[in-house]
Structure 1
Amino acid sequence: MIKLKSMLSQWLVKLTRRLKNNFYIYLALLFTVLMLLDAGVFHIGQNMRDKSFDFMVKNRISQTQPDPDIVIVDINEASLAALSKEYGRWPWPRQVLGEFVENVQAQRPKAIVFDIVFSDADIYNPDSDAYFNEVIAGSDNTFFPILRLDASQDTLSKLKYSQILGLSAEENADQNATIAAILPHFSGALKANRLGTHNVYPDSDGIVREYRIYHNDAGWHLPSLPLVVGQFSDNNATKIDSVPLPQNMLLNWRGKPFSYHYVSFSDVFTDLASQHKTRSQHEFTNKIVIIGSTAAGLFDIKPTAMDKQFPGVEVLATAIDNVKHRDYLKVWRGKTPYILMSLLLIWATTFAFYFKVDRDKFNSIFTSSQIGLLILSYIGINITNTYIDLTGPILWAVALFGIAKIYALATDRGLQRWLAFGVKSDAENATVIIMPIL
């Protein structure tokens, strides 16, 4: 084993003498190829970006405060238990929700948004359904979700885009194009500018970071529920062409779960129906009221950048908040910036070693520059709502710096004297002694 180590050491010495400073060029070329493969195939840099983004978003110095005019009426476990004796656990007869809407409307809310899909009729309570439909048909500020199904099923659907009221279309839009989606069962909900998708599309690692603001298929523009509600709050009709928002909006989270103002559905429902009310009669005046659920049994929990257990209704609230205030997060990313920044750092580091820049100064400059770039990313997301993704390029530069540093130490003349090779022989065998010279 010792002889093998000795032979390997001698081979490395010969190799370094032969390559000299050209080693740094070869190393940079290798890193360039690996980086290009990652950008096009493996996407390791993208995964690192997501993790660093999650860390910085979760640990911002100051979070943007939730809009106080957004209230979540929570069908929580307590509500399910409180109303179970009279209406069953879930689903309740639609009459319950109809009474809630009718009573809340007396307080003149800005909007009432359902985070509930009403896909089918309640065949056991037709009168209840009729009452609910009558209530929402008489309102002009109730909003309902469309559940967008997988686009691969579009050709199997009989629902045409042209049948959905309020959609905008391009000049060459296919008038016969079909869409796989679940619309509200109730005719009173099928109004222009009152419907939108509420689908959440996680990234490849299963984490929700973005919200699809609109779909653009077959020349038709299908808005999301946050877009419809956000534009309604600005007293504007939904027009995709005039929306200053990206199709996939990076969410500007307002904090950990339950950062918004929550009220229990059963508490509000009971008080609204009571003759002796204890709650403010202006509790929902000019508010965006979102009706959804955090009950564990209804399984509306999403893994997000902020928490692995994040209420789905609060994801919707965050998206509405971002659209309303236009303060969604922006990110400097993409293949081109990633490649260019990586090339810059890789080759700048390489040339510093190749041209033998003063080692102590370069060590200080390199270390401080990498830390400075990370600080720049952190400051950007705290002050400007812009995330400058430099994680991948920095890691490429650090990896190259580490290998180049080891090579530089191995070839340094002063350090070559650090090792001395001696041979000690006896009658039976020979051993190689490696000892430092101080």
Structure 2
Amino acid sequence: MTSAHLLRLLRHFSWWHWLAISLLLVLLDYTVLHTSRIIDQRAGDVLLREHAKRRPVSTGVVVVDIDQRSLERMNEAAGSWPWPRSVHGELTDYLARQGARAIVFDIHFNEMDFYRPEHDQAFAETVAAHSNVYLAMALQDSGSGGPMASMIPPAVGVVALPGANPQTRIPVLLPLVMLQHKQPEAMRGGLINFVEDSDLVGRHYLLYKDYQGWRFPSMPARLARDLGWPLPQQGDRILLNWRGAWQHVSYADLYEDAQREQPRRPLMEFKDKVVVVGAAAPGLMDLRLTPLASTYPGVDILATSIDNLRAGDWLGEKPRPVVLPFIALLLGSIAWLFARGYAPTRILYGLLGVNVLVVAIAWWQLGRGVFLPLFAPLAWGWGYFWLCALLAYLKERQQRERAMGMFQRFLDPRVVSDLVANGEINTEVNAESRQVTVLFSDIRGFTTLSETRSPEAIVSLLNRYFSTQVEIIFRHGGTLDKFIGDAIMAFWGAPVNDPDHARHAIAAAIEMAEALVRFKAELTELGHDFDIGIGLNSGPAVVGFIGSRDRLDYTAIGDTVNLASRIEGQTKGVARVLVAESTMLLAQADFSYRDCGLHHVKGREQEVRLFEPGRLGTSGNGS
């Protein structure tokens, strides 16, 4: 959209119209489009990372890490990955002896080891011997799976919802090694599905997942149910409250301890802790995108969710529409400030202050376990601010161009732009009373001159004369009011306030008289009858744009103007330049004056004392 289009829209829409349009867009976004959700997500990630750094290491959950070091050191004892499952059984026995409250495997055991079935058998028997071992499951996006009635024993913990069909085939990865070796009661566990938000980042963890009438618990929810931890009353997921670090124990180190004939002091205290066994080695590809890192170990995500339910410190999440009143208040405040004429820079600083306050509130609430989606509202505020700033700029430019077009007729074009930019003249200001000095200049002998020359020559002569005189007026800061036939009207003191308006006006009048002498010399014999008279008067006048809707002129009206015109009429036979006593008194120290006595002027009962000004050291300019 071009600036011309924006200007046209500006003429038809006020700040409040733009506010209504913006609020409608906000409502559409929060109810249908949700395009600004990613702002809450990404900005919230920054807070979550900083918050996680300040949370201490969990005292109730330990991660046994199949790291790269473990893959290398276990080669001799177990071969390459995947290891025989009896290795996991031996580790399970060891952790159970150490008093672990729960042993959770973030490893799938859904496929049988056809080459080493005895190892599967040993692992199945070990898991069956300990009621605190939990195995991983996962719902897949595709596939058929087996029928619910025959594939899923009660130990899995699946709940049939109303209308559930026992013959439904569900693509779920189960620890079928337990079933194969006749240990169905050992198939306790839950889903470890990774949950992505709309931007593919994992911030939540499932509590359960419904599939065709069947409800599958997640691993953290299954532990919570069995161990008596409280669960959220609403929703199928929790927003994770991350920790910056975990108690990690290398799988290889722990396995070596388990193999020792003579026990030693354990690497870590496992009594009454939940132990999560999983793979963080890069080569095993269990790395996920989370707020904390782009390659965050999946086992740490599971540990975080379990720890959140254990401690009851998962993050409460306010629904995004709850901030709509705040957005309306923020945008309404911005619109009100712009409509009141506040400078955009002041509004910008205020908005920055609001940002700091909002981030502080979000951080404070995060510390209390609540995530507030306050960042998209800030983005809407900034977007609306820049829209208003653009509209204010376009409106100001329109006013500036209007002022430039109007005042270039009255003022020196070289200074109009500076005056408008500095706010010294404004087309929106109504007519007002100002202290001004008014100048009238009229040509004498013009009638005689026009009778002896062609119209073209007369027009050329007048244009040359007016150009010279107007240039002098502009150079001394005067405002050209109008041409009245062969007369010029100008004034000082408006639209720009000029405390020395009388001095500047007299200086211009003296220079205009001096320029006339040079001009007459150029005319040779034609200049004999060509002369001017200049009258000046100072006082109050009403100044502003006066006229019809279609044609306005910036002019001065009042008794001060009328007297200046009458003084110009008194110059013939007295002096080229005459000023009223009011003007002389305002610039008494700047010029020399010749007292020309009292004069009776039309429209006034009292006579007016007039003076001929001259440069200091002279006695006037002559008649």
Which category of TM-score, normalised to the shorter sequence, fits these structures? 0.7 to 0.9
CA distance in 2, matches of 1:294, 1:413: 61
Query: 1:347 maps to which residue?
Result: 332
Change (3 A) 1:276 1:144: same
Aligned identity (percent) is 26
Match of 1:324 among 304, 310, 316: 310
The farther-off stretch of 124-133 and 358-367 is 358-367
Q: Which moved more, 1:270-279 or 1:68-77?
A: 270-279
TM-superposed CA distance for 1:145, in Å, is 0.9
- 1:391 pairs, out of 375, 380, 401, with 375
Report 1 or 2 for greater relative contact order, CA contacts < 8 Å, sequence distance ≥ 6: 1
Determine the structure 2 residue equivalent to 1:222: 216
Q: Deviations over 1:137-158 (max 9, x none)?
A: 11111100111111x54xx332
Asked if 1:53 is matched to 2:44, the reply is yes
Q: 1:380 aligns with which of 354, 365, 380?
A: 365
Q: Which residue of 1 aligns with 2:125?
A: 134
Does 2:216 align with 1:249?
Answer: no
AA in 2 matched with 1:373: V
- In structure 2, C-alpha distance between the alignment counterparts of 1:26 and 1:161, rounded to whole Å: 62
Q: For residues 231 and 366 of structure 1, what CA distance do their matches in structure 2 show?
A: 47
Which deviates the most, 305-314 or 385-394?
385-394
1:134-185 per-residue CA deviation (whole Å, 9 max, x = no partner) reads: 11111111100111111x54xx332317834132333443344332101102
Structure 2 residue aligned with 1:38, among 29, 37, 40?
A: 29
- Secondary structure in 2 matching 1:253: coil
Distance 1:400 1:248, change over 3 A: same
1-structure distance, mates of 2:75, 2:173: 28
1:178 aligns with 2:169: yes
1:428 corresponds in structure 2 to none
Q: Residues 338 and 392 of structure 1 are in contact (CA less than 8 Å); yes or no, is this contact kept in structure 2?
A: no
Q: How many residues align?
A: 408
Match of 2:192 in 1: 198
Alignment partners' CA distance in 2, 1:271 and 1:107: 11
Is 2:124–2:186's contact at 8 Å kept on the other side of the alignment? Answer: no
Alpha-carbon distance between aligned partners in 1 of 2:251 and 2:128, rounded to the nearest angstrom: 22
More displaced 10-residue stretch of structure 1: 72-81 or 344-353: 344-353
Matched position secondary structure for 1:191: helix
- 1:107 maps onto 2:98 in alignment: yes
Distance 1:15 1:77, change over 3 A: closer
1:160 counterpart letter in structure 2:
M
- Secondary structure of the 2:383 match is helix
Change (3 A) 1:373 1:183: same
- Alignment partner of 2:285 out of 280, 299, 305: 299
1:121 equivalent in structure 2: 112
After superposition, give the CA deviation of every residue in 1:292-341 in whole Å (9 maximum; x if it has no partner): 1111111111111011121110100000001111211122233x335444
* 3-state SS of 2:220 partner: helix
Q: What residue number does 2:251 align with?
A: 265
Tell me the amino acid that sits aligned with residue 158 of structure 1. Answer: G
Alpha-carbon spacing, 1:33–1:235, altered in 2? closer, same or farther (3 Å): closer
Q: How big is each residue's C-alpha offset from its partner over 1:253-282, in whole Å with a ceiling of 9 and x where there is no partner?
A: 011xxx111111111111221123443398
Aligned-pair distance for 1:189?
6.1
Contact 1:184 1:190 in 2 (8 A): no
- Counterpart position of 1:427: none
SS at match of 2:196: coil
Structure 1 gaps, min length 5? 237-241, 425-430
Bigger radius of gyration? 2
CA distance in 2, matches of 1:306, 1:387: 16
Q: List per-residue Cα deviations over 1:55-93 (Å, max 9, x = no partner).
A: 111123863323212111111111111121232110111
1:214-256 alpha-carbon deviations (Å, 9 max, x no partner): 11233432110111123333389xxxxx75363121000011x
Hey, what does 2:356 align to over in structure 1? 371
Give the distance between the partners of 2:41 and 2:268, measured in 1 at CA: 42
Q: CA deviation digits over 1:5-47, x for unaligned, max 9?
A: 9xx78x987875x44xx42133223323433443355433101
One-letter code aligned to 2:361:
L
| Code of the aligned partner of 1:199 | N
The 8 Å contact of residues 341 and 393 in structure 1, kept in 2 or not, is answered as yes
Assess if the C-alpha contact under 8 Å between 1:71 and 1:289 holds in 2.
yes
2:580 equivalent in structure 1:
none
SS in 1 for 2:135: strand
In proportion to residue count, which structure has more strand?
2
Amino acid at match of 1:293: A
**Are 1:72 and 1:292, in contact at CA under 8 Å, matched by a contact in 2?**
yes
CA distance in 2, matches of 1:147, 1:14: 59
Contact kept, 8 Å, 1:231 with 1:324, in 2: the verdict is no
Q: If the length of structure 1 is used for normalisation, what is the TM-score?
A: 0.82
1:367: how far off?
A: 4.4
Contact 1:230–1:321 (CA<8 Å) still a contact in 2?
no
- Which amino acid in the other structure matches residue 306 of structure 2? I
Whole-Å Cα distance in 2 between the matches of residues 24 and 324 of structure 1?
Answer: 52
Q: Could you say if the C-alpha distance between residues 193 and 365 of structure 1 is closer, same or farther in structure 2, counting changes exceeding 3 Å?
A: farther
Contact kept in structure 2, 1:66 and 1:321, CA below 8 Å: no
Decide which moves more: 52-61 or 190-199.
190-199
Which residue in 1 is equivalent to 2:562? none
The 2-side partners of 1:113 and 1:367 are apart by 47
User: Which piece of structure 1 moves more, 45-54 or 57-66?
Assistant: 57-66
SS of residue paired to 2:74: helix
Using the TM superposition, give the Cα deviation of residue 98 of structure 1 relative to its aligned residue in structure 2, in angstroms: 1.3
Query: What is the aligned counterpart of 1:405 among 389, 409, 412?
Result: 389
2:62 is the alignment partner of 1:71: yes
| Structure 2 unaligned residues grouped into runs of 5+ | 423-623
Query: Which residue of 179, 190, 203 corresponds with 1:209?
Result: 203
Q: 1:200 Cα deviation (Å)?
A: 0.7
